[in-house]
Amino acid sequence: MRSGGVGQATWEWADWTNAADRNTANDLSRTVVSSVSDNATVLLIGASRGLGYAIAAEYLDRGSRVVATVRSPGRTALHELQDTAGGRLEIEHVDINVPEQVQALGDRLGARRFDLLFVNAGVTNGPDETTANVTTEEFTRLMVTNALSPMRVIEALAEFIDPSGTIAIMSSGQGSIANNERGGFEIYRASKSALNQLMRSYAARHRDDSRTLLLMAPGWVKTELGGPGARLTVSESIPNLVTTIDAQRGRSGLHFLDYLGQTVAW
């Protein structure tokens, strides 16, 4: 089994995903190119770099129109992508931890409608930090950014999503309580578990909603957050993840899925 480490921490590939994913991770022949995204409209939160940037690029490749957000005023990789997107990529600004900015984004969207809202923004912390030594400030930063703020975005922007559309949040295999047998990343794990629980409550509160609700686990991917020792490249994860999202369209209820479309244990 593969393992990686940051500082003194080690973790196993197993923690980032589920058993079915591990069994099939090397079988990328399962990749199916979907055409569902042709002409689809996507609202993507947190796309300056990493997985969010790759999701924007993938939807553009599939013919979608994308409104994607960054939080800083400066130029990002997403702006480079916009230069080659033929007018199909608009860049908006929002810090998901500032409710006034989320509300202002909604005001700017006006009467627009989208097929997909995907909240990708998230942060991590030191993998060795535990409840024995994490500061209250750091714990709060993780919980607010990874659990509360994505849900606030959903609460504020769900009205812009078509009744047959999809509302998705980037979770993590690390958010699975059932699969946590090795520990590590305690605070990050807890924040993604809290996100999952909040999304389940949201789904229960909207049980008659026809829209598809998704919590996605992208696998352990080489980004700033995932680190250079991660198991997957972005191009091994994201095209499959987008295909998985598209394949769920029209399937109401909440689903916790990995990038290969396998159900992740809660």
Does position 239 bind ligand NAP by CB under 6 A? no
Q: Nearest distance from residue 147's CB to ligand NAP, in Å? A: 11
DSSP states of 7-28: TTEEEEGGGGS-HHHHHHTT-G
Please select the residue that binds ligand NAP; options are 172, 179, 180, 193, rule is CB under 6 A.
172
Q: In whole angstroms, give the CA distance from residue 54 to residue 59.
A: 9
- C-alpha to C-alpha distance for 153 and 192, rounded to whole angstroms: 16
Which x/- pattern, by CB under 6 A, does the window 34-73 give for ligand NAP?
A: ------------x-xxxxx-----------------xxx-
Instruction: Tell the smallest beta-carbon distance from residue 100 to ligand NAP (Å).
Output: 13
CB 18 within 8 A of CB 137: no
Which one of 18, 82, 120, 125 is in contact with ligand NAP (CB under 6 A)?
120
Q: Which of 14, 91, 134, 221 contacts ligand NAP by CB under 6 A? A: 221
Per rule CB under 6 A, is residue 224 in the interface with ligand NAP? yes
Q: Residue 25 interacts with ligand NAP (CB under 6 A)? A: no
Q: Minimum distance from CB of 222 to ligand NAP (Å)? A: 7
Q: How many residues does the chain have?
A: 266
CB of 216 to ligand NAP, least distance (A): 8
Restricting to residues 121-150, which ones interact with ligand NAP according to CB under 6 A? Answer: 121-123, 145
Distance in angstroms (rounded) separating the CA atoms of residues 39 and 265: 33
- Could you give the strand order of the β-sheet that contains 114-119, starting from the edge strand earlier in sequence? 89-93, 65-70, 41-45, 114-119, 161-170, 212-217, 253-258
Least Cβ distance, residue 262 to ligand NAP (angstroms): 15
Question: 97 vs 252, which CB is nearer to ligand NAP?
Answer: 97
Helix (H, G, I), strand (E, B) or coil at 168: strand
Report the candidate in 64, 88, 68 with the shortest Cα–Cα distance to residue 78: 68
Please state, in angstroms and rounded to a whole number, the distance separating the CA atoms of residues 229 and 222: 7
Least distance in angstroms from the C-beta of 86 to ligand NAP: 23
Integer Cα distance of 131 and 120 in angstroms: 26
**Rule CB under 6 A: which residues touch ligand NAP?**
46, 48-52, 70-72, 95-97, 120-123, 145, 170, 172, 218, 220-221, 223-226, 230
